[in-house]
Amino acid sequence: MKNPLLVVGSVALDRIETRAGKREEILGGAATFIALSACHFTPVNIVAVVGRDDFADEHVELLTSRGVDVTGLERVEGRTFRWSGVYADDFSSRTTLDTQLGVFESFDPRLPQNYQGARFLLLGNIDPTLQLKVLDSVSDKCFTATDTMNLWIDIAKEKLIEVISRTDLLIINDEESLMLTGKSQVAVAAEQILKMGPTSLIIKRGEHGAYLFTGDTTFFAPAYPLPDVIDPTGAGDSFAGGLMGYLAGMGSTATSDIKKGMIFGTAIASTTCEGFGVEATSGLDRPAIDRRYEALRKLTAID
Amino acid sequence: MKNPLLVVGSVALDRIETRAGKREEILGGAATFIALSACHFTPVNIVAVVGRDDFADEHVELLTSRGVDVTGLERVEGRTFRWSGVYADDFSSRTTLDTQLGVFESFDPRLPQNYQGARFLLLGNIDPTLQLKVLDSVSDKCFTATDTMNLWIDIAKEKLIEVISRTDLLIINDEESLMLTGKSQVAVAAEQILKMGPTSLIIKRGEHGAYLFTGDTTFFAPAYPLPDVIDPTGAGDSFAGGLMGYLAGMGSTATSDIKKGMIFGTAIASTTCEGFGVEATSGLDRPAIDRRYEALRKLTAID
C-alpha cells in the first residue's frame, strides 16, 4: 500500500482577476491545490478548516472523488477563509486586494486518529507556530517538506527558523531565499539555508523553473513554456503537491526521486496556470501528467 | 581544417559600474566578446572598426593571441566607440550613462579577401542596414546567426525584418521577442518569429537560461547558478560566440549541435559575468570550459 501524504494548510474561497478575466468565490487555498496535485500519485490526508455554512459540499466531493481523506477537514461555525487578488498583465506580480481569515484565524491543526504514523508530511504556508505544532505530533522519521512565505520571514523569523531546522525539504521562492539569508545570489543563499537544517532545498523561480540544492547536487527543473497563462494561483502549491505526492507514492526520499518529483510537480503546476483556480488542475489525469512530464524531459535532452 | 567563424560587430572601450566596483576604458564590444568566446572552438575572422590612436595595441594582441584574424579590424582616424553604463545592484537592469559612437558612426563593414567564402557568420548587434550589407557579401549557403536589440525594433523594424528573413538562427532576448511580435508569451512569439524566416530561434532569458525553438523542437539550456556576479557586460555576446564558434568548428548546423553549442555558450557567458569586461573570459581555456559544460549537463540530469 502506498504511503499517504499528510497535508496541512489553507482551504479558501478566492476572488481572482487576471487579464484573462475574473472569478468570484472559487475553490482555492494551498492545501486544496496540494491535495489535487498529490492525489495522482498517492492517497492524501488533509488537515484544514472551512466554514460550516458557506463551503459548498461540491468542493468536499471534488476532494473525496480524488482519493483525498477529509476526516481532518474541520467544518466549523463561521466563514471560510477568503482571498482576493489581481495579477499584473504580464503576471510578474500580484496584489492582494482583500484577506478575510474567517475560521482560519483560529485554525488549530489536529491529526485525526487515522492520520497517525504519517511518513510523508507537507506543511503548507501557514503560521510557523502551527507548523511547529504539527511537527510535534508526527514522528521524527516522517519526511517533512515545508512551504512558507515572506510574511513569516518578516514577522515570525525565529519560529520559522525553528521549523526549517526540523524540515527535511524546504520549498521557497528565490526572493524569499535572499530575504531569509540577506544574500544576493540564490546559490549562496542555498548554501546558508542548508546549514539551517534541511537536507534538501528547492528554490522556485516561477515561470523560470526551480532549483534543487542538496549540498552534493544542484539540479534545475525548467518550467514548461506555456502558450498562455490564465491564472497562476496555486501553481507553487501544485508543484509542491506533485513532488511530495510522488515521493510518498514511491516511498522514497532519494535525490533522484526528488528530481523526478520536481518534474511531475512542474507538469501539474503548468496545467494549474491554464485555468482559473482548480479548473484545469481538477481535469487532469495521470496520462496527461505523464505526457507533460515527457515534454519537460525532452526540453533539456540533447539527442 | 575547421571553418572560421566570420564575426561582424562593435569593438569598444567601456566604462562600467556595478555593485562590485568600477572600471574605465576597458576593452568591450560585441565582436570582442564573440571572438574571445568562439576562438576556443574555431579560428575567428573579425570585421570591426576602432580608432587609430586611442585603441591600445595590447587589445589587438589579445585577439591575435587567441587565433583571431584581425585583417578586418579597421583602424581609422578618430575615437574608438565608447559605452558607459551602470547596473542595478541585483543586475535586473542597467542604465546607459553615455554612448560615444566615434569611428563606429561611419562603420562600413567590408570583408577582406581572405575572409571570402565564409560558411558561418555571426552578425553582432549593429544597424540592420549594415547587417544587410554583410549578408549581400556572403553566399546564400553561409549559415547566418543574427543578434539584435530593442533599439532596432523601435527605429528600423522593416530593415530588421528583412535581416531576420535572411537569417538562419536568430538570437534575441525574451523582451525583444515580445516587442517584435506584440505577443505576451515567448512560446507564442517564437512561433510567429519562425514564420518570418529563420529555421532556428534562440530566446535568451539572462540569468534564467535560454530557449531554442525550431518548430519541431523546443530545448532549454539553463543558466549556471553563479555564487557571485561581477559584471554581466558581454554575457549575451559570449553566449552567441561560444554557440556559433562550436557550430563552425564542428562544421555542423544540426539541431543537436545547436543544443550543445548553447551549453558551451552558457558555460562561457557565465564566466564572463565573473569579472569586469573580458577579464574572466580572456583567462579561459578549453578544459575550464568543458568542466563548466559538464556541470551544466549535470544540472538537468536525473541520475
Asked if residue A189 is part of any domain, the answer here is no
Q: What is the pLDDT of residues B215-229, one digit of tens each?
A: 999 999 999 999 999
In this prediction, residue B303 carries a pLDDT of 84
Interchain proximity A260–B299, CB inside 8 Å: no
| Domain annotation covers residue A130 | yes
Do the Cβ atoms of A71 and A112 come closer than 8 Å? yes
With contacts defined as CB-CB under 8 Å, which chain B residues touch A205? 208
Is A104 part of any domain?
A: yes
The mean per-residue pLDDT over the stretch B96-116 comes to: 95
The predicted complex's ipTM stands at 0.90
Residues 6+ apart with CB under 8 A from B134: B8, B47, B109, B111, B121, B123
Residues in chain A: 303
For residue A221, being part of any structural domain is answered with no
Assigned domain for A243 exists? yes
Nearest to B260 among A186, A225, A302 (CB): A302
pLDDT at B112: 97
In a domain, A249, yes or no: yes
Q: For B252-267, what is each residue's pLDDT tens digit?
A: 999 999 999 999 999 9
Q: Which of B19, B89, B218 sits opposite A225 (nearest CB)?
A: B218
Interface of A with B (CB under 8 A): 19, 89-90, 184-188, 205, 208-209, 211, 217-222, 225-229, 256, 259-260, 298-303
Instruction: Measure A218 CA to nearest chain B CA, in Å.
Output: 6
Q: Max alpha carbon distance in chain B (Å)?
A: 58
Per the CB < 8 Å rule, is B222 touching A302?
no
Q: Please, which residues bridge with residue B51 across strands?
A: B76
CATH of the domain at A21: 3.40.1190.20
Q: Considering its fold, how many domains does chain A have in total?
A: 1
- Residue B248, domain extent: 5-299
* Average model confidence (pLDDT) across chain B: 97
Choose the mutation target among B93, B185, B300 for the interface with A, i.e. most A CBs under 10 Å: B300
B→A contacts (Cβ < 8 Å), by residue, are: 19, 89-90, 184-188, 205, 208-209, 211, 217-222, 225-229, 256, 259-260, 298-303
Output the CA–CA distances (angstroms, integers) from residue A2 to A47, A142, A283, B189, in the order listed: 19, 15, 23, 43
What average pLDDT does the segment A275-280 reach? 98
Q: Which residues does chain B have within 8 Å of residue A259's beta carbon, measured at their own beta carbons?
A: 302
- A137 assigned to some structural domain: yes
Report d(CA B255, CA B216) in Å as an integer: 10
Closest CA relative to residue B168, chosen from B245, B254, B108, B238: B254
Q: Please give the mean pLDDT across all residues of chain A.
A: 97
